[in-house]
């Protein structure tokens, strides 16, 4: 049983199958745009600094 799973592309919000070559993105363009956003520090993962380190 090969069950197909669909994901939403984080770039353009298009629905793509999980076996997509660029998963979780729908295309090389969306993957590249996301990488450039990270490289330019337009997006980041928030962290909580530990105040006990001082």
For 25-41, the pLDDT digits (tens) are 889 999 999 999 999 99
Check whether 14 has a pLDDT greater than 80. Answer: yes
- 2 pLDDT band (50/70/90 cuts)? low
Give domain limits for the chain.
Answer: 6-43
For the whole prediction, is pTM greater than 0.75? no
Structure-token match 């979780």, residue found: 24
Residue 17 confidence (pLDDT)? 84
Out of 3.40.50.1100, 3.30.50.10, 3.50.30.30, 3.10.270.10, the CATH code matching 6-43 is 3.30.50.10
Distance CA 40, CA 2 (A): 39
């Amino acid at each position: 049983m090969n069950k197909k799973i669909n994901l939403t592309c984080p770039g353009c919000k298009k629905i793509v199958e999980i076996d997509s070559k660029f998963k979780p993105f729908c295309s090389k363009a969306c993957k590249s745009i996301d990488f450039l956003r990270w490289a330019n520090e337009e997006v980041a993962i928030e962290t909580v600094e530990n105040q006990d380190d001082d």
